[in-house]
Amino acid sequence: MADNEPVNDLALLLTPEGRALLEEVRDTDPAQELAVATRLRREHPAELVSAALGQARLRQRAVVKFGAEDAERMFFTPNGVEQSTRASVAAYRARRFAELGVTSVADLCCGIGGDAIALARAGIRVLAVDRDPLTAAAARANAEALGLAGLIEVREADVTEVDTAGYDAVFADPARRGGRGRIFDPEAYSPPLSWAVSAARRAPRAAALKIAPGVPHEAVPEDAEAEWISDGGDVKEAVLWFGTEPGAVRATLLPGPRTLLARGLPDPDVRPPGRYLYEPDGAVIRAHLVAEAAEELDGGLLDATIAYVTSDALRPTPYATAYEITDHLPFNVKKLKALLRERGVGNLTVKKRGSAVEPEELRKKVKPQGPHAATVFLTRVAGAPAMLIGHRCE
């Protein structure tokens, strides 16, 4: 029964002996793993020892998403760690559900429970469904480990066969990885996005569907709100909301949260480089809200097709990072090398949009040396390859 092996391994870890062993191997240094395994196998069954060491490794990987306190108590599968929603994003979404007056959610495709846990912590009752036996078992173990079993019912089932009628809201996070890596076509998600959209439309109060941030805007249904979310500047996901504001588009930046809403502005004008260059947050770019961010900055674009905003004004904004530009010249490696030498720049950050130059190769060619730091932007100014040099405004 090879198929049951991982489920049995998880069951072993949930026994008192398994829990004690997990505690013992918690901080095992990967370099010492073999020696530790050999020693532990003298006192414990081999499969329990390897399950515990494997789980300890997964918990270490999960710390960035769940924080040490939770990760050290939770149970993971390799895919479960990879695919789960990080706690900050899940908590933000759960708060939105709670603010919509939602008190119960059917979490369709719950994985190891990243979202279900956050929903329960927001006081919401959750039906958490996953068809994979090991994943569902891990979700159940997590609800118990975090003291949330009273609010989370885990069901091992195919979501397309689950009746969600008794729930205020639906949340779905379809699997976006196939045997050959990431899936880009929303109809190739499991279950397909069109199925999830129908389930969302049936939800009495509200629904949210987590999708890839690269989803084309044309794929957003007219009756949905689309929200792109970044955390610490990295874009994490897009969400389609139903039962909120149809047609609304927003970029939400965590921590915060700070939300920029679409105002239907035309594209910003194209202008020559001013004193400051602003690099919009990835969620703002993905949500196509560069015009909304530029308006707040009294800014324009360096090039009609590139999301760098230029302005003579320095305005604090959460939606973009400001750089003061000291030099701007046509792209030329020799000139850049000379300029950096003259300025004593040894710490060079290379950023690029609309340039095919590889930052690492450029760095090798210009060989930065010296005590100062600078950032070079490789981009286009009104269509022509250009370099803008400056430093981040604090």
- Residues forming contacts to ligand SAM in the complex (CB under 6 A) are 83-85, 109-115, 129-132, 135, 158-160, 173, 175, 190-191
Q: Smaller CB distance to ligand SAM: residue 109 or 320?
A: 109
* Minimum distance from residue 184 beta carbon to ligand SAM (Å): 15
Q: Smaller CB distance to ligand SAM: residue 212 or 261?
A: 212
Pairing, β 384-392 against β 372-381: antiparallel
Residue type, 355: S
State the Cα–Cα distance between residues 376 and 128, nearest whole angstrom: 48
State the Cα–Cα distance between residues 250 and 13, nearest whole angstrom: 43
* Minimum distance from residue 132 beta carbon to ligand SAM (Å): 4
* Minimum distance from residue 83 beta carbon to ligand SAM (Å): 4
Q: Smaller CB distance to ligand SAM: residue 63 or 329?
A: 63
Q: Smaller CB distance to ligand SAM: residue 65 or 328?
A: 65
Give the distance between the most distant pair of CA atoms in the chain. 72
* Minimum distance from residue 16 beta carbon to ligand SAM (Å): 27
* Minimum distance from residue 59 beta carbon to ligand SAM (Å): 15
Q: Smaller CB distance to ligand SAM: residue 156 or 296?
A: 156
Q: Smaller CB distance to ligand SAM: residue 191 or 282?
A: 191
* Minimum distance from residue 367 beta carbon to ligand SAM (Å): 44
Q: Smaller CB distance to ligand SAM: residue 73 or 391?
A: 73
Distance of CA 88 to the CA centre of its chain: 10
Q: Which two tokens stand for residue 36?
A: 């530790």
Q: In this chain, which residue has its C-beta nearest to ligand SAM? A: 114
* Minimum distance from residue 116 beta carbon to ligand SAM (Å): 7
* Minimum distance from residue 351 beta carbon to ligand SAM (Å): 31
Rounded to 5°, the CA angle 254-229-394 comes to: 45
Q: Smaller CB distance to ligand SAM: residue 116 or 389?
A: 116
Buried b vs exposed e over 193-207: b needs ≥16 C-beta within 10 Å?
bebbbebbeebebbb
Q: Smaller CB distance to ligand SAM: residue 154 or 287?
A: 154
* Minimum distance from residue 60 beta carbon to ligand SAM (Å): 18
Q: Which two tokens stand for residue 363?
A: 């760095």
On whether the CB atoms of residues 326 and 393 are closer than 8 A, the answer is no
* Cβ-proximal residues to 343 (8 Å cutoff; 6+ apart), any chain: 370, 372, 374
Q: Is 230 exposed, middle or buried (0-12, 13-18, 19+ CB in 10 A)?
A: buried
On whether the CB atoms of residues 25 and 56 are closer than 8 A, the answer is yes
* Minimum distance from residue 109 beta carbon to ligand SAM (Å): 3
Q: Smaller CB distance to ligand SAM: residue 160 or 347?
A: 160
CA separation (Å) from 176 to 57, 116, 131, 217, 241? Answer: 24, 18, 15, 18, 18
